[in-house]
Each structure stands twice: as C-alpha cells, then as structure tokens.
Structure 1
Amino acid sequence: MQNSDIDAGLTPPPLMPKVERQRLHDTVVEHIRRFIVEGVLEPGKKLNERELCETLGISRTPLREALKVLAAEGLIDIEPNRGASVSKMSEAELRETFELMSGLEAFSGELAAERMTATELTEIKALHYAMLACRAQNDLAGYYSRNQAIHDKINEAARNSALRQTYIAVNRRLQALRFRSNFQIPKWDSAIHDHDDMLKALEARDGKRLSAILRQHLLDKRDAVLQVQSREDAAAAKLKA
C-alpha cells in the first residue's frame, strides 16, 4: 500500500520550473537590453548589480545569467574581479560595423522588394504611419521601436536565413547607436524622409532603389553617431581637464 500510495502521489511537472525560469531569464535580458538601447545605461557605464536587482525586482542569479547573454551579444563587457560594464565601441569599430550593416540592409531591401507579400507590405505601411504619429508627439522611444520593426520586417521578407542570422547579430550591437542618431531633430526628420522613400520603393517593387536608400540611410546613421560621440568625448575631456 505504501508503494502504491507513493506511486499515486502528485509529482510536480518537471517542465514547469524550467519554463518559469526561462521566462524570467528572457524578461531580464530584454529589460537590460532596452536600458542600453534607450541610453538609461550609457556606453562605458559600470553596472551596479545591487541597483539593477532592486530596479528589476530579482536576485543576482538571473541578473548574472542575463549579463552573460548580453556579453555574448557584444552589449556588455565582463572582466574578472571588475564586474560588468556597458560596451563602448571604438571609432574604427563603429565605422566598420555600420558599413557592414549598410550592406546587410541593402541586400535585405533588394530581396524583400521581390519576395514581400501584400500582407507584409500592409503591415509595414501601418508601422510607418504609427512611426509618424510618434514623431508628431516627440515620442522617440515609440518612434524607434516602430522604426526598428520596419527594418526587421524588411529583413524577414528577404527570406534568407543566413542573412537573417547575421543581421540580428550585427544589429544588436548597433541598436543603441541607431537610437542615439535621432537625438538631433534634423537627423530625425531626415530619417523619416528616408522611410517615406523606402515605402515608395517597396510599393513599386524597386529593389535596386530600395537597396540604395537603405545603404545610404545606414551610412547617414553612422555619420550622425560619430558626431554625437565626438561631442560627448570632447565634453568629457573638458571635465577631466
């Protein structure tokens, strides 16, 4: 009887803790990634684990697991006995990575113009108009999320898995910088003009045109980011003097 009682007892489903743990893990990664993208955690900033744990309402174990993921993505630097800090790209690295991204975006546009479905085009149009509404309200975070969704959907519509994987990996390193490129209103409005042209090229299924627009769009982002970084570096140098 005792054995049958044990056999008949309730056993916790073995997958439940793993599912909950994974959800927490993904949520923490996403929160910190957003902090980095939106500049809450600035490039070069040393991370205070206690403060992050309090902000996110978590223990140090899921935080450290999340930091390892972000380190693998190139967003966080972890040094033994010195802790973690937000990665800061050198000028040369920034230039080269944006150049690479301009090529990836251009190729995505060329393929997407051929392969995008009518439904996907409709979704991009909806995101475009939502993005314009955010600009009218000076909602940079809302604008950026829709902006990135447009670029992401163009890349998905290219239907090239090798391109997709490379795009995701490179774009993660540039998201915070792409966000910062809109800090100046003229740069922000110029980006919107580019998106108007992108939409027209998509509607016309003009892959060559869309490719050229996307390539220059990313190179303009590079130049805007370099300007911002140069001013910030100069201001930091003055404070140290």
Structure 2
Amino acid sequence: MTPPLHLSLAGQAVDVLRELVLTGDIPPGTRVNEVELAQRLGISRGPLREAIRHLASEGLLVLAPHRGASVPVADEADVQALFELRTALECAAVELAASRRTEADVVRLRAVCEESRRAYSAGERFPYRLDLAFHQALLHAARSPRIAEQVRLVQQRVVLLRSGLRDDPPHQHASLDDHDALVAAIAAADPSRASDVMRKHLARVCAQMLTSLAQ
C-alpha cells in the first residue's frame, strides 16, 4: 500500500534534513529557516515542519517558542552524558557481537575498516558515514534490535556535536586502530576483550571532544 503523499514527503524531508544537520551544512547554533529550506528542498512547509518535529524528538534539533528550530551546540555536560549512555550500550553490544557473530559479520567489519583507511589515506576528512557504518556492522553482529535502535540515536547525536569541532588527525588514526582491535576481539570470540577495547575507545573519543570544546 502506497503511503499518503504528505507522509512520503515528510519521510524524505527527515532524511535530507538529518543529512544537512549531521554534515554541518546547517551548523550548530544555527536557526532553521523554514522558508528558505522548504524552497531548497522543493517541498511545502507542512512536510518540513513534520520533519523538524521528528528530528527534535531525536535530539538533533531544539524547538523554542516563537523562535522555531535550531541546531544544538555542544557543551561539556552534553558530551559526558551522551558518552556515559553510549559506553553502557556499546560495551554490551560488542560483548553480544563477540558471542553471536558469523564469519560474514567479520568479513563485513574488516571491509568497513579497510574502506575507512583508504578514504582517510586519500585525504578525506574522517567520514562520519564510514564511522557509523562500522558501528552499525557491530550492532548487526550483536543481533539485538532494541540496543541497536538506542545506539543509533545516541551515535547520531555524537556525530552532530562533533560536526562543529575541528579535525584531530592523531585522534582519527587512533580511532581506526581501535576499530581494527575491536574486529580482532570479535573475530576471536572474546567478549571481555571486545568490551575493554570499546570502553577505552569511547573514553578517548569523549576526552578528545572535551578537549576540542575547551579550545
């Protein structure tokens, strides 16, 4: 059954608006100009407003009375709270992945790691899509849909907060090394080692973000 047109347009608007926010095309602290954005996307303001409300429910936009929507700005408390939650969720997920993974899962994880290194070595800015693809492959291996959904929401909020921060090449190299170590632990079916690597990885990412905020 084909969904109503306004719902289809709203769904498309959600995807496009999410991309604009997560890539920093609409930077943190910026107010969403509904008129300009509706013209840019070629849709009416009705579906756009539905998309704005949806992204606000995910924490990617903030709604203020009489001011409309804006992209939130990172602060230390936000970062620490998100990483407390992300650590709890993703450490549980990698333990499950190490216990439940198939050989196909390991092949996929290694492929994403290799693709990430190629892209970064070619001079691309550390691509959030590949970072998310790696963590999504981990979640697939864990086979826990409820954990996966909660991690997705937390991860994209972290991506949003990172979009306004400067690049840090040593940190990005270390993240690629962490990903390789996680794949090795999962391939070895070692839940304890996988959880330990993930915990240290996320602690370092959190510390790097807090340092960037302070600067």
TM over 0.5: yes
Residue deviations 1:125-146, cap 9 Å, x none? 21111111111122236x3212
Kept in 2, the 8 Å contact 1:104–1:163? The answer is yes
CA distance in 1, matches of 2:2, 2:142: 37
Q: Which runs of 5+ in 1 are unaligned?
A: 1-14, 232-241
- Opposite residue 73 of structure 2, the aligned amino acid is K
- Opposite residue 216 of structure 1, the aligned amino acid is K
The equivalent residue for 2:9 is 24
Instruction: Call closer, same or farther: CA 1:131–1:204 in 2, change over 3 Å.
Output: same
Shift of 1:169: 2.8
Q: Given the alignment of the two structures, is residue 112 of structure 1 paired with residue 97 of structure 2, yes or no?
A: yes
The equivalent residue for 1:205 is 189
Q: Compare CA radii of gyration and give the structure with the larger one.
A: 1
- Opposite residue 88 of structure 1, the aligned amino acid is V
**Kindly, what percent of the aligned residue pairs are identical?**
32
The equivalent residue for 1:102 is 87
Residue deviations 1:151-192, cap 9 Å, x none? 112122212233223222322322223556771111111111
Which TM-score applies when normalising by structure 2? Answer: 0.91
Kept in 2, the 8 Å contact 1:144–1:179? The answer is no
- Opposite residue 85 of structure 2, the aligned amino acid is L
Q: Given the alignment of the two structures, is residue 75 of structure 1 paired with residue 75 of structure 2, yes or no?
A: no
Which TM-score applies when normalising by structure 1? Answer: 0.81
The equivalent residue for 1:238 is none
The equivalent residue for 2:125 is 140
Alignment of 1:10-49 (within 5 A): 15-16=1-2, 18=4, 20-49=5-34
Paired residue total:
215
Instruction: Call closer, same or farther: CA 1:182–1:193 in 2, change over 3 Å.
Output: farther
CA distance in 2, matches of 1:154, 1:59: 38
* Counterpart among 143, 151, 155 of residue 171 in structure 1: 155
Q: Given the alignment of the two structures, is residue 188 of structure 1 paired with residue 172 of structure 2, yes or no?
A: yes
Kept in 2, the 8 Å contact 1:95–1:222? The answer is yes
The equivalent residue for 2:35 is 50
Higher relative contact order (CA 8 A, sep 6+): 2
CA distance in 2, matches of 1:195, 1:178: 18
Q: Which runs of 5+ in 2 are unaligned?
A: none
- Opposite residue 148 of structure 1, the aligned amino acid is L
Shift of 1:218: 1.3
* Counterpart among 76, 80, 105 of residue 91 in structure 1: 76
- Opposite residue 171 of structure 2, the aligned amino acid is K
* Counterpart among 4, 26, 46 of residue 61 in structure 1: 46
Kept in 1, the 8 Å contact 2:27–2:163? The answer is no
Q: Given the alignment of the two structures, is residue 222 of structure 1 paired with residue 206 of structure 2, yes or no?
A: yes
Kept in 1, the 8 Å contact 2:75–2:213? The answer is no
- Opposite residue 29 of structure 1, the aligned amino acid is V
- Opposite residue 158 of structure 1, the aligned amino acid is A
Kept in 2, the 8 Å contact 1:178–1:221? The answer is no
Secondary structure of 1:140's counterpart equals coil
Q: CA RMSD in A?
A: 2.0
